[in-house]
């Protein structure tokens, strides 16, 4: 991931060009999606099923791609 700017810049999101651009765009999309103001306004509007489905999807992705040690290091921020 070559993102130097770690702030949300939705204008840089562009999918379908090449793998590196897709990876950078996904990182930026998630960065923009996780802004406090967006979350404070979106989460209360989600149904219980949408909350469960989102959690199931995200934990499933981490489960498929991270070892337990990586999960603790990268997601929980714990030293191994």
Q: What is the pLDDT of residue 27?
A: 96
Residues 6+ apart with CB under 8 A from 62: 71, 75
C-alpha distance across the termini of the chain, in Å: 23
Q: Please, which pLDDT band fits residue 6 given cuts at 50, 70 and 90? A: confident
Q: Could you report the per-residue pLDDT of 21-74, keeping only the tens digit for each?
A: 999 999 999 999 999 999 999 999 999 999 999 999 999 999 999 999 999 999
Q: What is the pLDDT of residue 1?
A: 57
Spell out the domain ranges in the chain.
Answer: 1-45, 47-80
């Amino acid at each position: 991931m070559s993102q130097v700017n770690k702030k949300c810049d939705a204008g840089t999101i562009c999918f379908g060009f090449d793998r590196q651009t897709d990876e950078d765009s996904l990182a930026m999309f998630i960065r923009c999606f996780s802004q406090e103001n967006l979350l404070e306004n979106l989460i209360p509007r989600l149904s219980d099923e949408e909350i469960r489905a989102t959690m199931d999807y995200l934990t499933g992705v981490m489960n498929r791609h991270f070892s337990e040690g990586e999960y603790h290091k990268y997601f929980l921020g714990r030293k191994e």
